[in-house]
Amino acid sequence: TEFIVNTGWIPRSTGDSTYIYTKNSYPYSLAHLFRNAGYSVNSFHGASGTIYNRETAHAIFGYEAYYSYIEMDMDDYTMDSQMTNGFDLMIEEEPFFDFIITYFGHGPFSEETSAAQAHLDEVREYAEITDATYLAGLAQAKETDVFVGNRIQKLEDSGLLADTVLIFYSDHYSYSTIDEELLYELKGTSDSNLLQNTPFFIWSQDAEAEKITKVTNTADILPTLANLFGLDL
């Protein structure tokens, strides 16, 4: 999904695209489109750049630098909230396009994770479902929420929020983590295709709320953003 979002291309279903396609060039990737429009473009994730070959792959996609927990001064690379430490890197040059990959929204969900231990008591207070794995997933999602909240607050404090667009997508649903019957219940469907439906939304202060209901997929994200920002595609 990360490859598709950045390139707009759908790779073959076998093999790991971040390894087998890194000798290609992608002049119409998101990073290159924004760079050509005068933006600084960088990517951020807590984990090392060797995971999924990200540092190499992102350079091929056109990002100027990949920043990990080291550059962002994070004590625990799994804790999304600590990526706030790298905020100055994220806004160093304006205008900026930051590709930020969070960590703890992803499974596996466990009460033993640092994010679950940080937020489990809080989510237990309002969760109606008592399944332990589900609660751990909520707690881990809370850790990601903290980072998003911190980033929005810092953008506002820096006077940048009014000129910033926030774009969110998820790469897949919680397969192999939460009990499948519970997943169908949570999604309110019995259709395995709809089970795989994941959020994608765009926010800015001056945008009117609008819900798009037509079927889309990850490959639609790049041309959608190119259209919204008037990028030369």
**For the segment 1-12, what is each residue's pLDDT rounded down to a tens digit?**
999 999 999 998
Residue 101 in this model has a pLDDT that exceeds 90: yes
Q: Tell me the two tokens of residue 160.
A: 């940048």
* Greater model confidence, 191 or 15: 191
Place of tokens 């962002």: 72
User: CA-to-CA distance for 206 and 128, rounded, in angstroms?
Assistant: 35
User: CA-to-CA distance for 52 and 67, rounded, in angstroms?
Assistant: 14
Average pLDDT, the chain: 94
Contact 166, 202 (CB under 8 A): yes
Going by pLDDT thresholds of 50, 70 and 90, the confidence category of residue 157 is: very high
pLDDT tens sequence across 159-209: 999 999 999 999 888 887 888 888 899 889 999 888 888 889 999 999 999
Q: pLDDT exceeding 90 applies to what percent of the chain? A: 78
User: CA-to-CA distance for 134 and 142, rounded, in angstroms?
Assistant: 12
Q: What pLDDT is recorded for position 150?
A: 97
Q: What pLDDT is recorded for position 231?
A: 96
How remote is the C-alpha of 165 from its chain's centroid?
14
**CA neighbor of 22 nearest in space, from 52, 60, 48, 49:** 60
Q: What is the mean pLDDT of residues 214-231?
A: 94
How far are the Cα atoms of 94, 212, 218 from residue 215, in angstroms, in the given order? 34, 9, 11
| Peptide bond connecting 108 to the previous residue in cis, omega within 30 degrees of 0 | yes
The strand pairing partners of 167, in sequence order, are 202
pTM of the model: 0.94
Residues with Cβ within 8 Å of 219's Cβ and at least 6 positions away in sequence, in order, are 4, 8, 9, 10
